[in-house]
Structure 1
């Protein structure tokens, strides 16, 4: 049993080392891990303003705001120094992004469902909740749910 645990640890360490640099059909894709529970990896071959948009919860406006606060303009992510990466992590920790944002949204939806308001009932039925028509559109929301064996 101890051998199995040790080998799983070794495999996960190897996976962590291989993940930042990935080769797909001769194309090198590298990522910089922002880490610290912030939300994940951003590609290092793009400019910072556009690379930040790969994190869930950061769009164009928030990305522009973060780059202006950081004081780094028109730089690729791979050109950032360790000090700039540290300040970037601090700035991102102030915002609600990635897994924290997903948890808050899920909690809000569960609150709507528990108080059984209109939007909560639409979420329960799997229908659009923001007034969209369902007669001809909303095919993905109206489709029959697939059978899930885990339920």
Structure 2
């Protein structure tokens, strides 16, 4: 299995598909990297040479794309900032509610989790 940016990319898949396993590289960027590196799009990842792997790595760093740990850190930092300043979006994130204006009276189950039934309990009989 080839290793790029600390990620084991699948060896039996085509290069463009394998590159998508790197967090921050999607279909368009993967195709762009393959095209700029001059790699055959039908080539499998296990057939990549050290030179081609270095070329792919160079292209990613040349474009200054934020990937993997740096991107994850940036996203969590953004969420923490929103929560720290108590803005509306930060409060919605904190309460695990939909952030972008969706309705919550019905639906929103993905964000809110499974239903929790709130029932009325019977009063206990006084002891004699």
Alignment equivalent of 1:118, drawn from 72, 88, 99: 88
Partner of 1:65: 32
| CA pair 120-111 structure 1, distance change in 2 beyond 3 A | same
More helix by share: 1
Partner of 1:49: 16
Deviation at 1:126, TM superposition (A): 0.9
- What's the TM-score, normalizing by structure 2? 0.79
Stretch deviating more after TM superposition (89-98 or 126-135): 89-98
Deviation at 1:43, TM superposition (A): 0.3
Helix, strand or coil for the counterpart of 1:72?
coil
Structure 2 CA distance for aligned equivalents of residues 139 and 39 of structure 1: 35
Helix, strand or coil for the counterpart of 1:43?
coil
Gaps of 5+ in 2: 115-128
Gaps of 5+ in 1: 1-30, 145-151
Q: Which has the higher contact order (CA 8 A, sep 6+)?
A: 2
* Number of positions where the alignment pairs a residue of Structure 1 with one of Structure 2: 111
Deviation at 1:58, TM superposition (A): 1.2
Partner of 1:82: 50
Aligned-residue Cα RMSD (Å) equals: 1.5
Q: Following superposition, which runs of at least 4 residues in structure 1 exceed 6 angstroms of deviation?
A: none
Helix, strand or coil for the counterpart of 2:20?
helix
Structure 1 CA distance for aligned equivalents of residues 97 and 90 of structure 2: 10
Which structure would you say has the larger Rg? 2
More strand by share: 1
Would you say the 8 A contact 1:39–1:97 is kept in 2?
A: no
